[in-house]
Amino acid sequence: MMQYYKIQIVTVDESARQAVGLASLSRFDKITFGETGGLAREIVAEHRVILVVSDLTVEVVQAIASEIASLDDFMIVLPGQERDEEILKHLILMGGRVVFGPSDTISSLSLSQTLQLLERVFYGNDTENEIAADHEDLYTVMDRGTLTEFHSETGSQIETVTTRVLNMPGRLSDVCGATILFDIEEDFSILEVSEAMEIVERLLPEESSILFQTRNDKAVKEEVGVTVLLSRSIDFQKELQEQIDRSESHLEKIAIIVDAYAKGEIDGEKADHLALRNDISTRDLRSMYDLVYTAPMRTRELLRTISEKEIPPLQKEEAVADELTEDMIDTDLIEEIVRAFGLPMDEIVEIIKLKREGKVIVDPVELPDAADKKYPELYLGRNGDVYIVGGADTFYRDPNGLTLADGNDLELYERDDLKFYVDKDLSKNEVESFVKAFASVMEKPQ
C-alpha cells in the first residue's frame, strides 16, 4: 500500500510567493505564504514542510535555525544560482534537505519549475498504469545525499534522452540517490522503458539508491521526457581533514575539530568520527571544548552574577557552590573570585554539602496580604529563576538560618512560560489556581 505524507509548502519571501503562483500547485495539502520571524506560527502539525526561498541570506538561515530546525524532514527549495557553500553547510547540519532548481533561468522561474516537478514526483498525474513510489521511499532516496538537483530533457528516443540528461550534470561519482521520472504516452513500450532503466543503472554509481517512476502525459506526442533528481554527497569534512593532515602536533589536530564543532560546521557525531579517524580520543575533544569554550563562558556568567548589586548574597554563594559542584571552572580561579568579592567560603562549603544531600535552598517570596486569607496553607519560594510552591511542611529552617526544602519531595510543574516545582502532596487544581491568581507576583526573574 502506498504511503503518502501530508506536505505543506511555506514561502519565505516575495519572489518565492511569485514562484508558487506561477507553478499553479493543486496537490499539496497546504500552501502558506510566510515570512522570517513568523515561520514557527505557520507550520501545521503532522505535516512535512517544504520551504521555498529565493534569496538565501544569513538572516534567513538564522530564522530557520531558531524557528523550525527542530522539525523532522524539512526540505528547502532554492533556485539553482544559490550555491554559497558556507550557508548551505549550516542548513544541512540543521537537518534540512536542500533541493536546487535549474540554474539557467531567473530565480522565480527556477523555483516554479522545481515545485511543479516535485508535485508530479510526489503525486503523479492520476492516470492508470503509472509506476509510482511512495513518499517514504522518495524521502529516503533524497536523504542519501546532502544536496538534490534536477535535470530534464526531451526527445524522440528514450535511450538517447536518458543518456543525454545524465550527461548534463557532469560527474556522477558523488551521486548517492536518484529518482528518475519518465514522461511517456500511456501506450508507450514498457520494454523501451526497461532499456532506459538499464542505462541509468549502468551510468550511476553501483552503491547509489535509484527509484524509477513513469507519468502518463497526454501532451507528449511522439516524444518522451526524462527528468532526474540526483542527490549528491558533499563532504564538508574534506577541508577539515586537510587541515588536520597539515598539523604537526596532536594538540593542534584536536583544536581544529573542536573549533569546527564550536562554530557549528560539524555536529557532535561528525566530530567524534573525525577524531576516531585520526586516532584522537573523544574524551580529549570534550576536555578541550570545556577548557576553551565552556569554562570561560561560565566564568563570565559567574562574575556577572557575583558583581550584580541587585542579586542577594545567598544567591551569589549558591552560584559559586554550583560551579564548584559541577567542576567546570578551575577551583583555584573560583577561590580567587570568592576572596576578591569577600564571599564567605565556609557558607559556600555548607551549601555544597546541602546540595549533595538533595536539599534545595529557598528564598521566600512575599505575597499580598490577600494570599493568607484565600490560600492559608500554601507558600511560595524561589531558587534562582525557579519557583517553588509548597505547604506548611514543605519548607523548614536549618541551624544556620537557611530556608530549605527536600528535593525528593518536589516535582516539576509548568504553566505558560513559568517553570516551578511543587510539593508532590499538593492538589494540582489547588496549585493551578494559586499560580493563576498570583502570576504577577511570579514574574520570571531576569
Q: d(Cα 388, Cα 404) in Å, to the nearest integer?
A: 11
| CA–CA gap between residue 145 and residue 96 (Å, rounded) | 11
Q: Is the pLDDT of residue 218 over 80?
A: no
Which helix H or strand E contains 190, and what residues bound it?
helix 190-203
| Whether residue 204 has pLDDT greater than 90 | yes
pLDDT tens digits, residue range 355-387? 888 888 888 887 766 666 777 778 888 887 778
**What pLDDT does 202 receive?**
93
pLDDT > 90 fraction of the chain, expressed in percent and rounded: 19
Quote the mean pLDDT of the chain. 83
The 3-state DSSP class for residue 368 equals coil
Q: Is 390 helix (H, G, I), strand (E, B) or coil?
A: strand
The predicted structure's pLDDT at residue 441:
57
C-alpha cell at 231: 542527490
pTM over 0.75: no
pLDDT at 70: 65
The pLDDT of residue 198 is 94
- Judge contact between 177 and 133, C-beta under 8 A: no
Mean per-residue pLDDT, 323-327: 81
Find the mean pLDDT for residues 410-427: 79
Lowest mean pLDDT among 60-74, 224-238, 293-307: 60-74
pLDDT surpasses 80 at 91: no
The confidence band for 440, taking pLDDT boundaries of 50, 70 and 90, is low
pLDDT reported for residue 369: 67
Vertex 246, ends 244 and 252: CA angle to 5°? 55
* Residue 307 neighbours by CB distance under 10 Å: 12
Taking 70 as the threshold, does the pLDDT of residue 102 lie above it? yes
pLDDT tens sequence across 111-143:
999 999 999 899 887 777 788 888 989 988 888
Euclidean distance between CA atoms 266 and 369, whole angstroms: 55
Tell me the CATH number for domain 7-232.
3.40.50.1440
Q: Any bridge partners for residue 228, and if so which?
A: 151, 180
* Residue spans of beta strands (DSSP E) within 156-256: 175-184, 209-216, 224-232
The identity of residue 135, as a single letter, is H
Rounded to an integer, the average pLDDT of 152-160 is 91
pLDDT of residue 444: 47
- pLDDT at residue 30, rounded to an integer: 93
Domain boundaries, the chain: 7-232, 294-357, 360-437
Instruction: Give the sheet arrangement for strand 396-397, strand by strand.
Output: 359-361, 403-406, 396-397
pLDDT at residue 243 above 90? no
pLDDT of residue 211: 93
Instruction: Please state the φ and ψ torsions of residue 382, each to the nearest 5 degrees.
Output: -145, 140
pLDDT tier for residue 445 given thresholds of 50, 70 and 90 = very low
320 alpha carbon, distance to own chain's centre: 33
Find out whether 212 and 228 touch, Cβ atoms under 8 Å: no
